[in-house]
Amino acid sequence: MRRQTYYPSRIADQIPWLENFRTKLPGYETPLGLPDAQVDACVASCRFSIYVLSQWLSAVRTFGPAATEAVDLLLSGEGPDAVVLPTFAAPTLPTGVASVPPGALTRLFDLVAMIKDAPAYTDTIGEDLGIIAPEDASDHPVPVFKLEAVQGAGCQSVKISFTKYSHMGVWIECRRAGGAWEFLAIDTESPYLDERALLAAGQPEIREYRLRYWDKGTPNGDWTDTAKITGAP
Residue 12: phi and psi, rounded to 5, are -60, -30
Domain chopping of the chain, boundaries: 11-129, 137-231
Measured CA to CA, the distance from residue 177 to residue 164 in angstroms comes to 27
Inter-residue contact 37 to 107 (CB < 8 Å)? no
Beta strand 192-194 pairing with 156-163: antiparallel
User: Strand (E) positions, the chain?
Assistant: 144-151, 156-163, 169-176, 182-187, 192-194, 205-215, 218-220, 227-231
Measured CA to CA, the distance from residue 86 to residue 67 in angstroms comes to 7
Please check the confidence at residue 208 and state whether its pLDDT lies above 70: yes
The overall longest dimension of the chain from CA atoms, in Å, is: 76
Cis peptide before 191 (omega within 30 of 0): yes
Predicted pLDDT of residue 226: 96
Predicted pLDDT of residue 17: 96
DSSP β-bridge partners for residue 176: 207
Confidence of residue 152 (pLDDT cuts 50, 70, 90): confident
| Model pLDDT for residues 175-201, shown as the tens digit of each residue | 998 899 999 999 999 999 999 998 888
pTM over 0.85? The answer is: no
What's domain 137-231's superfamily in CATH? Immunoglobulins (2.60.40.10)
